[in-house]
Amino acid sequence: MKKGLIALAVVLVAGFAGYTLLSGGNAAPEVTYTSITGKTASTASLKGKVVLVNFWATSCPGCIQEMPELKKTHERYAPRGFETVAVAMSYDPPNYVKTYVDTHQLPFHVTLDAQGSIAKAFGDVQLTPTSVLIDKEGNIVKRYVGVPDFAELNGLIEQKLKA
């Protein structure tokens, strides 16, 4: 009986933690991003902006599918205080990432997560694409696993830029 209650408590705590992480409202992790061009940004330096952190890989069909929309979204909202950070997964060869960025002229911050530390900090991201929307105060608003509904995402960006 006692073991069953302990197991139930562990499941409830883990479930609540997962719900909290997925539902937003919690602070984004403190991380530093170094772009493939050598520019750095951090969670702290991006406060005051609405930020989309996108975990992707050049070998991921959904990532390649969503990239033109991410580019359009960035170009539409960047003048109003929106930032996109594309985090290439640790298994993605750096030369593939650089070639993709150059070929598609990505206008936002692209970083290589060589050690996987950024993915770990954001809840041990394993699946790509995964995108995390962060508000001006640095709180996670929403997490998208898979290609997001861009109409919904753009609506949330609009809402958070006005806040």
pLDDT digits (tens, 9 = 90+) for 127-159: 999 999 999 999 999 999 999 999 999 999 999
82-88 and 140-145 beta bridge pairing? unpaired
Each residue of 76-111: pLDDT tens digit? 999 999 999 999 999 999 999 999 999 999 999 999
pLDDT at 6 over 80: no
Q: Which one, of 41, 50, 30, lies nearest residue 133 by Cα?
A: 50
Residues 161/80, Cβ–Cβ less than 8 Å: yes
How high is the pLDDT of residue 147?
Answer: 97
- Confidence band of 163 (pLDDT split at 50, 70, 90): confident
Provide the whole-model pTM: 0.84
From CA 133, how far away is CA 149, in angstroms rounded? 13
First to last CA, the chain: 49
Check if the beta carbon of residue 30 is closer than 8 Å to that of residue 42: yes
In the chain, the DSSP E strands lie at 32-34, 40-42, 50-56, 82-88, 109-112, 130-134, 140-145
Burial of 91 (0-12, 13-18, 19+ CB in 10 A): exposed
16-59 pLDDT, tens digit per residue, is: 344 444 444 599 999 999 999 999 999 999 999 999 999 999 99
Going along the chain from its start, the domains and CATH numbers come out as 27-162 (3.40.30.10)
Q: For residue 139, give Cα distances in angstroms to 30, 75, 89, 132.
A: 11, 22, 22, 10
Rounded distance between C-alpha atoms, residue 47 and residue 49, angstroms: 5
Cα–chain-centroid distance for residue 158?
17
